[in-house]
Amino acid sequence: MRTEIYQPKTTVDNSNWTSRRMRKFLWILLVICVLFMFFPWTQNIQSQGVVTTLLPNQKPQEIQAIIGGKLEKWYVKEGDFVNKGDTIVKLTEIKDTYLDPQLLTQTKAKLQAKESSVVSYSYKINSINSQITQLEINRDLKLKQTENKVKQEELKVLNERAEMEASVANYNISKTQYLRDSALMVKGLKSKLEVENRRIKMQEGLAKKISSENKYKVALNSLENTKFEIRTIQADFGEKLAKAESDRYSSISAQLESESEVAGLRNSLNNYIIRNGFYIITAPQDGYVTKTLTRGLGELVKEATPVCTIMPSLVNMAVEMYIEPVDMPLVQKGNYIRFVFDGWPTVVFSGWPQFSHGTFPGTVFAIDKTPSENGKYRILVAPHNTEKKWPEQLRVGTGARGYMLLKKVSVWYEIWRKLNGFPPDYYVRTNKNSAKKNEK
């Protein structure tokens, strides 16, 4: 008996139906993928960054000790809020130059003594100037008096000369008469008595002649002595004036030296006064004491040693990011950026920013002109105030990831660009008028 095996036809039909559905699903998936390739995609530059401050005076600030000293007392602790001018630390002096408690008083006394010395030198200089003036007046008077005496001696010389000439003439006349009478006496015309009288008159004339000549020579000598006296007066007063001038310049030099010492003492006094203000370290601005770098009491602190760190209370937040050199030409001031901050839940679609949730807007505020040590360019991004504000709970140092939105392209173009390693497209908005001008 022959037995036939029954095979239902439904098995063949089910496998054909499954394969048809699979092919249909693959076609639909292919069509969806092809359509997806033509969806718009927003090109973007992504970079990690950290939250910082926009202004230099709003960054965490180290409070340093301007002078060296011993830490005597703390007035704050970590986490305290301080106002500008509040005392943070008090120091005491450790240098032997400034240990004297009467340093300011003694320095003021020295300064006053030197100032009095300057005043006394001024009086001395004025006195010497008066002395020089008086010497010049006396010199002029003496010279004028001596010049008058010279004129008198000159007149006397003229007078003596006239008398000498008169005595010479009288002598010559009496001599002539004597010789004539002597000749007449030989002839018997004159008596011997008359000749003797003539001889006596001649002798008297000779005596007057000699006397007048001597007086004339004495007058000449007196004139020369008077002229020599003028030179003596000039030399004498010149020596006195030179000595007075020397004393005056010595006093001026001593006064200038005293003034220099006064300036040095005044500078030292001001430095001591200012240094006394450095013993108290105060807060330069309002903020919070975040960290104390020098601890304990009695610890020695050197100059420019950080004591603590203050975080300003009013901070304009910004994000510090680093951009690859290949993307740097695309970055300009005012570029729009979306941020994701650490600690805030977000859903990010980098190519479709309109579907992202929990991101915050920002704009490029500053761009470095040279690369940093890591080979990238640093940019600062400020908040975009017209849109969603950044969280108030943000703190300096919080991590952030930025998405700089660029040109909109198709998905297939973006995939092709990344496979070839091309940078994003450079996109600049221009209005119609500028475009027409460029065409012209």
φ, ψ for residue 277, nearest 5 deg: -75, -20
**Angstrom distances, CA of residue 341 to CA of 198, 323, 348, 376:** 153, 18, 12, 21
Closest CA to 114 of 265, 269, 251: 265
- The pLDDT of 341-354, averaged and rounded, is 60
Cα–Cα distance, 265 to 109 (Å, whole number)? 10
Task: Give a three-class secondary structure readout of 365-404.
Answer: EEECCCCCCCCCEEEEEEECCCCCCCCCCCCCCCEEEEEE
**What pLDDT is attached to residue 91?**
92
φ, ψ for residue 264, nearest 5 deg: -65, -40
pLDDT grade for 217, boundaries at 50, 70 and 90: confident
What structural domains and CATH numbers belong to the chain? 38-54+316-430 (2.40.30.170), 61-93+279-312 (2.40.50.100), 103-275 (1.10.287.2610)
**What pLDDT is attached to residue 414?**
67
Q: Is the pTM of this model over 0.75?
A: no
Question: Contact, 40 vs 408, CB < 8 A?
Answer: yes
Distance of CA 47 to the CA centre of its chain: 42
Distance of CA 19 to the CA centre of its chain: 89
What's the pLDDT tens digit per position in 39-97? 676 666 778 888 888 888 888 889 999 888 999 999 998 889 999 999 999 999 888 88
Q: Which of 37-46, 250-259, 286-295, 349-358 has the lowest mean pLDDT?
A: 349-358
What's the pLDDT tens digit per position in 277-323? 899 999 999 999 988 888 778 888 888 889 999 988 888 888 998 98
Query: Which 3 state secondary structure label does DSSP give 181?
Result: helix
Cα–Cα distance, 304 to 151 (Å, whole number)? 85
> 387 Cβ partners below 8 Å, 6+ apart?
361
**Quick one: 381 exposed, middle or buried, by C-beta within 10 A (0-12, 13-18, 19+)?**
buried
